[in-house]
Copies of this chain bind each other. A is one copy, B any other.
């Protein structure tokens, strides 16, 4: 069943960016516009009461998933978002690409663009890779799906959408990002957006993973989860990114879990309606215990659903802006 696109209306004219590279440069209005759009995709299309879960807004458009780092989850989410909009989605994995023949990333991207691609979703280990592509591609939208430890804008947007759908607004909320902040592009994108939307972010974790640098931006820093439990509205429990760490930042996983895992004992000391978020994949028993992950305050699977909605919004907004710019 297809949603009648004539009932949907045109893309928002006050969104003019052909690329979504990060949240640091967006205004509060732009972030709110994307969240509103994503919320509409969630309500009207993904949760369509009459099962019209596909809306042909991007028919004839081609999108390439250009993933230089492995990620089935984010790649699948973007792939589904593109397909629900009627676009053709092609996966381009680094392992089998011409990069192993010595091609530069810009040449790879220009080649892809020359094949008539309308949008590129890129994940790369190097911070700034999406910016580099955006500078070099014409008439082609670039959406950052994670660049090194820099930004991961759609992940932060889906976190915000999940909070907003439950609590109405982000204004004045105390949101704790717990765990591996220094290696986390998710934390960075979240902090930029939370500050713009009037929330009060706290970063929390061992001193080896949470720098005091953030205080200069107006973010509170805490090294004790137990201390902040009673005052936080939303906990976002980040994965320990073992794969990004060179030196071991804490003595053992057990010690980390002892100090920072969200478990039912800690949850009992939180506000009654405190929300639990976590960007998957979760490590059960490390940053979160199973009873909390599967409990009534956990919004982890809501985040996944909202992720498809956010990516539909990001793809539609950027591809239509890129098309307008081309004219």
Contact = CB atoms under 8 A, between A and B. Distances in A.
A107 interface: yes
A223 B84 CA distance: 54
A76 interface: yes
A101 B69 CA distance: 13
A71 B59 CA distance: 27
A303 to B, nearest CB: 8
Instruction: State the copy count for this chain.
Output: 3
A97 B72 contact: yes
Give chain A's interface residue range (CB within 8 Å of chain B).
35 or more
Interface of A: 1-2, 46, 51-54, 59-62, 64, 70-73, 76-77, 79-80, 83-84, 88, 90, 92-93, 96-98, 100-104, 107-108, 110-117, 239, 243, 280-284, 301-302, 304-305, 307-308, 323
A168 to B, nearest CB: 22
Contacts of A79: 90
B281 A107 contact: yes
A48 B54 CA distance: 25
A98 B281 contact: yes
Interface centre among A54, A100, A107 (most CB of B within 10 A): A107
Given A1-B60, A76-B115, A308-B115, A70 B83 contact: no
A323 B51 CA distance: 10
Contacts of A97: 72-73
B282 A107 contact: yes
Contacts of A92: 72, 76
A283 B103 CA distance: 6
A265 to B, nearest CB: 22
Contacts of A243: 101
Contact of A304 (B76, B93, B111, B301): B111
Given A59-B1, A110-B301, A283 B102 contact: yes
Contacts of A100: 70
Contacts of A280: 98, 103, 107, 111
B76 A308 contact: no
Most chain B CB atoms below 10 A, which of A93, A111, A243: A111
